[in-house]
């Protein structure tokens, strides 16, 4: 029975890089908050793929086969995985190109500084030779000459040795960004384990846009208003009588007609001072 697989077709002459994982998310950096297609590879997965590719011939076509320890999930997961890996190595190739350009820029600046220093050293050495022919003057002249040529070491190192390893990385990342990517599934019976790689959004978790929420609230208000309008409509005279009756009820509840008599004497009643005490 053939192993179920999905993704790009791998040519017979391709040098295949084999990776085995339990979940697709193990290939990617867990702390990267970027969307899936823009997420960086896990450092261990990146190092494994790149080092394997470096051991292969430079002119051999590359391919990546991912052995996944689960059954197939989404129908487009192989396509999404290939896009994410291609995008990652395209970004690495672009970063290496920027590094190469920056290296040449520093090399040109270093070359100008070194040439100026070498010219100044030679001119100063000739001046010292014309002034004095002593042994100390000759030693000083030779020291300036050596210092001027030592200053040329850094730009020569850049233009002779430092650039070609970076160019090799650019070419390697370009090859990795174009290689076919295929997934081979271990299990044949589909289950829900793929949701760990592709979490489904439940219906309760769906958010409603502010515009839609506003429209829905307006519809609810209108429905409530239409429901309220189905009730009996009073005439202005009836509305006035209803308000007066409600006002009378409020006054009666606040100021009852039969308050209990107060036990304190009336301060305006002067006769209370002349009453005998019991």
Between 3 and 179, the higher pLDDT residue: 179
Residues 6+ apart with CB under 8 A from 172: 50, 53, 54
Whose CA is closest to 182, among 10, 42, 12, 28? 10
What integer pLDDT is reported at residue 214 of this predicted model?
46
**pLDDT beyond 90 at 14:** yes
For residue 54, is it within any domain? yes
What integer pLDDT is reported at residue 94 of this predicted model?
96
Structure tokens at 256: 């009852």
Q: What is the pLDDT confidence band of residue 75, given thresholds at 50, 70 and 90?
A: confident
Q: What is the pLDDT confidence band of residue 208, given thresholds at 50, 70 and 90?
A: very low
**pLDDT beyond 90 at 22:** no
For residue 268, is it within any domain? no
What integer pLDDT is reported at residue 182 of this predicted model?
94
What is the rounded average pLDDT of the residues 90-116?
Answer: 95
Q: What is the biggest distance separating any 2 CA atoms in the chain, rounded to whole angstroms?
A: 142
What is the rounded average pLDDT of the residues 88-111?
Answer: 95
Pairing of strands 181-185, 5-7: antiparallel
- Beta-bridge mates of residue 185: 68
For residue 228, is it within any domain? no
* 3-state secondary structure (DSSP) of residue 121: helix
**pLDDT beyond 90 at 159:** yes
What integer pLDDT is reported at residue 200 of this predicted model?
41
Distance CA 37, CA 81 (A): 8
For residue 267, is it within any domain? no
* Residues making up the chain, counted from first to last: 278
Print the domain residue range for 116.
Answer: 5-196
For residue 183, is it within any domain? yes
What integer pLDDT is reported at residue 188 of this predicted model?
65
For residue 231, is it within any domain? no
Count: domains in the chain: 1
For residue 62, is it left (φ>0), alpha (ψ between -120 and 50) or beta? beta
What integer pLDDT is reported at residue 228 of this predicted model?
43
- E strands, 42-90, are 62-68
Between 200 and 33, the higher pLDDT residue: 33
For residue 79, is it within any domain? yes
Q: What is the mean pLDDT of the chain?
A: 77
**pLDDT beyond 70 at 271:** no
Structure tokens at 136: 């100390």
Q: What is the pLDDT confidence band of residue 2, given thresholds at 50, 70 and 90?
A: low
Between 45 and 33, the higher pLDDT residue: 45
* 3-state secondary structure (DSSP) of residue 93: helix
Distance CA 240, CA 251 (A): 17
For residue 150, is it within any domain? yes
């Amino acid at each position: 029975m053939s192993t179920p697989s999905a993704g790009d077709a791998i040519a017979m002459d391709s040098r295949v890089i084999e990776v085995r994982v339990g979940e697709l998310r193990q290939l990617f950096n867990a702390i990267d908050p970027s969307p899936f297609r823009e997420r960086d590879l896990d450092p261990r997965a990146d190092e494994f793929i790149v080092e394997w590719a470096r051991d292969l011939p430079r002119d051999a076509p590359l391919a990546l086969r991912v052995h996944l320890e689960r059954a197939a999930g989404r129908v487009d997961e192989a396509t999404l995985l290939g896009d994410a890996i291609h995008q990652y190595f395209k970004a690495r190739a672009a970063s290496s190109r920027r590094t190469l350009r920056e290296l040449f820029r520093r090399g040109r600046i270093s070359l100008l500084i070194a040439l100026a220093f070498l010219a100044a050293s030679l001119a100063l050495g000739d001046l010292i030779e014309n002034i004095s022919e002593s042994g100390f003057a000759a030693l000083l002249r030779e020291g300036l000459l050596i210092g001027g040529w030592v200053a040329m070491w850094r730009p020569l190192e850049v233009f002779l040795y430092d650039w070609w390893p970076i160019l090799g990385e650019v070419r390697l990342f370009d090859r990795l960004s174009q290689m076919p990517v295929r997934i081979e599934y271990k299990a044949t019976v589909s289950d829900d384990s793929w949701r760990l790689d592709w979490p489904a959004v439940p219906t309760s978790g769906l958010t409603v846009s502010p515009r839609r929420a506003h429209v829905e609230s307006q519809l609810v208000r209108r429905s409530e208003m239409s429901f309220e309008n189905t009730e009996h409509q009073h005439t202005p005279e009836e509305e006035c009588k209803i308000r007066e009756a409600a006002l009378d009820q409020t006054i009666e509840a606040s100021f009852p007609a039969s308050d209990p008599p107060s036990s304190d004497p009336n301060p305006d009643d002067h006769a209370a001072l002349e009453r005998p005490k019991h």
